[in-house]
């Protein structure tokens, strides 16, 4: 491998609220790697489209926005055009909107180059839905994090309540199930484990236990490359 492709990547894919964001962020911190929350890019694009009054069906207009998305990630905060939108992008309505625009081929194409640019030394931990299948198919370690719909809805419920947002368990279960179906059925980069990915069910384990397993897998993967 030459150039950026020699920079190690750990891809962590999975459905919404599977815990991949928390786990990926902790793995990156443990290794001193950069971190990419690809889902945030779709959420930022959706938020930007809504702020610009662009309908979610206007594929070309949203792709044009995505191509020059004025965003940055800094100390756990997410900024859009200078505004701190960390909480805004985590609202359920934005998550649903992000899932809808994620099926649009032109939008996905516009965001690919931006995602690839996060691959920098000493390494990258990338979380999303197609990190191991599409964006970083040569990742040294691929993980597919999953959990039952009920477990994921419960986690999301707690997150929303802690942040002061209204939440309803029944609605969350319904929304997550619908989003799963949409993400798995889309023609562009459907949600599925990458070839060779380690499937890790987090329904009954803690985030720290998941982190420990992934670090062990990465250590083994590095050793096998030598």
Task: Establish whether 18 is an annotated binding residue.
Answer: yes
| pTM to 2 decimal places | 0.83
Task: Establish whether 224 is an annotated binding residue.
Answer: no
Task: Establish whether 109 is an annotated binding residue.
Answer: no
Q: Are residues 78 and 71 in contact, defined by beta-carbon separation less than 8 angstroms?
A: yes
Q: Are residues 138 and 194 in contact, defined by beta-carbon separation less than 8 angstroms?
A: no
Task: Establish whether 17 is an annotated binding residue.
Answer: yes
Task: Establish whether 14 is an annotated binding residue.
Answer: yes
Peptide bond preceding 15 in cis form (omega within 30 of 0): no
> What pLDDT shows up at residue 39?
85
> Please, is 112 exposed, middle or buried when counting C-beta atoms within 10 Å of its C-beta (0-12, 13-18, 19+)?
middle
> What pLDDT shows up at residue 79?
92
CATH 3.40.30.10 matches 9-220: no
* Residues in the chain where the model's pLDDT stays below 50: 1-3
Q: Where are the domains of the chain?
A: 9-220
Task: Establish whether 20 is an annotated binding residue.
Answer: yes
CB atoms closer than 10 angstroms to residue 226: 4
> What pLDDT shows up at residue 57?
94
Task: Establish whether 16 is an annotated binding residue.
Answer: yes
> What pLDDT shows up at residue 50?
96
């Amino acid at each position: 491998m030459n150039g950026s492709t020699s920079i190690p990547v750990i891809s962590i894919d999975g459905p919404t609220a599977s815990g991949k964001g928390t786990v990926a962020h902790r793995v990156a911190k443990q290794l001193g790697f950069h971190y990419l929350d690809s889902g945030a890019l779709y959420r930022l694009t959706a938020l930007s489209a809504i702020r610009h009054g662009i309908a979610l069906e206007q594929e070309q207009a949203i792709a044009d926005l995505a191509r020059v998305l004025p965003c940055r990630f800094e100390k756990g905060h997410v900024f859009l055009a200078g505004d701190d939108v960390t909480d805004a992008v985590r609202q359920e309505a934005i998550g649903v909107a992000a899932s809808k625009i994620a099926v649009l081929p032109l939008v996905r194409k516009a965001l690919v180059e931006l995602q690839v640019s996060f691959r920098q030394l000493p390494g990258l931990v990338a979380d999303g839905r197609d990190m191991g299948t599409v964006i970083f198919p040569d990742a040294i370690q691929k993980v597919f994090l999953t959990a039952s719909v009920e477990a994921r809805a419960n986690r999301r419920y707690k997150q929303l309540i802690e942040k002061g947002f209204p939440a309803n368990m029944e609605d969350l279960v319904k929304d997550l199930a619908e989003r799963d179906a949409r993400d798995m059925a889309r023609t562009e980069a459907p949600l599925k484990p990458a070839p060779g990915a380690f499937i890790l069910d987090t329904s009954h384990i803690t985030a720290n236990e998941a982190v420990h397993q992934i670090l062990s897998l990465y250590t083994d993967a590095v050793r096998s490359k030598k």
